[in-house]
Structure 1
Amino acid sequence: MLRRVASRLLTAPGAPGRYALFPPVLPAAARRLSGLEDDAPPPTPPFDASLLDVLVCPLSKKTLRYEASTNELINEELGIAYPVLDGVPNMIPQDARLIQKDRDAPEQQQ
């Protein structure tokens, strides 16, 4: 009985009077005609810059700077960058990326 109910729900997406578990999927030709591309990544939500007023680095408790080109929050003092994923800052220190400071590079070459 459960299988019959599930098969009816799955085989009739969008039919009047029936419920669908998944939204109907457009065929590839319809996606191309509507301007939706298969290879295009979904747009990422923008980072809310007003969060910079309350966010600080969890390690140094210093303010952060948002870098739009890399979509990261930068701690200049420690030289680390926290990623922003889908508009949400990932403030876990283990997930942060070490960045090379431009001013330290010439000193190391001497």
Structure 2
Amino acid sequence: MLTAACGRLVSAPLSAVARKWLHASVSQLSADRRGKAEESPRALDPVLLEFLVCPLSKKPLRYEASTNELINEELGIAYPIIDGIPNMIPQAARMTHQHKKKEEMEQH
């Protein structure tokens, strides 16, 4: 029954507005793919930064545009932002140099 309903939806003619939207979407997707190699990584939406906190410390994060990462200064870790989406999984974070230097000084 579901297959029959899906078949009717696919075979239904598209309205002029739907055809224009579909054409524009496909054209934009093609342009995005062509420009992907020369395009810089998508930055984080500043509004998101107001709501995001480190999943480990629950403290606010700082956005670093040069590396496109969210930085937790206290813990010395950086979360990557991939295609504009922060990867907040602790295992995906990298240690920052500042934290490493601090640990070295504490050991000596």
Q: Structure 2-normalised TM-score?
A: 0.57
Equivalence map 1:30-49=2 (5 Å):
40-49=37-46
Aligned residues: 76
AA aligned to 2:92 is D
* Structure 1: segments with no counterpart, 5+ residues: 1-22, 25-35
Equivalence map 1:50-65=2 (5 Å):
50-65=47-62
Counterpart in the other structure of 2:73: 76
Q: Which structure has the higher relative contact order (CA within 8 Å, separation 6+)?
A: 2
Change (3 A) 1:106 1:97: closer
Q: CA RMSD in A?
A: 2.8
Higher helix share: 2
Change (3 A) 1:49 1:40: same
Whole-Å Cα distance in 2 between the matches of residues 48 and 106 of structure 1?
35
* Structure 2: segments with no counterpart, 5+ residues: 1-25, 28-33
Q: Structure 1-normalised TM-score?
A: 0.56
Q: Give structure 1 regions of 4+ aligned residues with deviation exceeding 6 angstroms.
A: none
**Percent of counterpart pairs with the same letter?**
57
Say which of 99, 103, 106 aligns to 2:96.
99
